[in-house]
Amino acid sequence: MRIETVFLFDLDGTLVDSVYQHVLAWKEALDAEGIPLSVWRIHRKIGMSGGLFTNQLLRETGLDIDPERIDRLRRLHAEAYGRLSKGVVPLPGAKELLATLTDNGIPWAIATSGRMETAGHNLVALGVDPDQVPVVTRDLVKYAKPDPDLFLAAAERLKAPIEHAVIVGDSIWDMLAARRCRGLGVGLLSGGYGTEELERSGAVRVYDDPAMLLQHLDEVGGRR
């Protein structure tokens, strides 16, 4: 008897090169609301849930951010990202990695903290049809990363125990969520976090990008 491995992927910074478009979109939204926040501080929050993002904003700026303002920020970010997403492309090896898993009969799914209004642009760039591939977005769960709900829902869509999942992400929020649901966290450097940060958050292996992960797929159970 052997464990049948499944792969659960984050989207932004993991399969598509979109982290900095998100950073600039959030910067534009925050500026429009008169909320001062440095670009580097925004980058540190990409990948976490919107609610946690807001809580950190409150701590760092001391501003009162009511529900109406939160909704405006989300809409402003989505509008800005829609314009900037024209420059989003798959990360090196991303399409080949997914194709290899499919060809080898290894199930995979995508679990992203983004809502479909922004994730949809990335899926188009990646060539993934959410009607054909399990895709879990922020719209479908109560809590996003670092809570594990997205990955748990994705594993359920694949009808697989979460303990059999290799969870691939580029941020500490992905790795913390993977650790909390007892999946095997694998980190990628393509989102801007460093090796030590990812390992401290629970990554058992760290690779540069999807292309490097594909070269070492057998190291994390990606074989039949």
How far is residue 110's CA from residue 94's CA, in Å, rounded to a whole number? 12
Pick the catalytic residue from 10, 17, 170, 209.
10
How far is residue 91's CA from residue 212's CA, in Å, rounded to a whole number? 11
Neighbour-count burial of 3, counting CB atoms closer than 10 A to its CB (0-12 exposed, 13-18 middle, 19+ buried): exposed
- Residue whose structure tokens are 């990628």: 188
Torsion region of 127: left, alpha or beta (phi above 0 gives left; psi -120 to 50 gives alpha): left
- 135-136 vs 165-169, strand pairing mode: unpaired
Residue 12 is among the residues annotated as catalytic for this protein? yes
How far is residue 69's CA from residue 7's CA, in Å, rounded to a whole number? 37
How far is residue 57's CA from residue 65's CA, in Å, rounded to a whole number? 8
Pick the catalytic residue from 12, 17, 147, 174.
12
Neighbour-count burial of 35, counting CB atoms closer than 10 A to its CB (0-12 exposed, 13-18 middle, 19+ buried): middle
Residue 64 is among the residues annotated as catalytic for this protein? no
- Residue whose structure tokens are 């925050």: 30
Catalytic residues: 10, 12
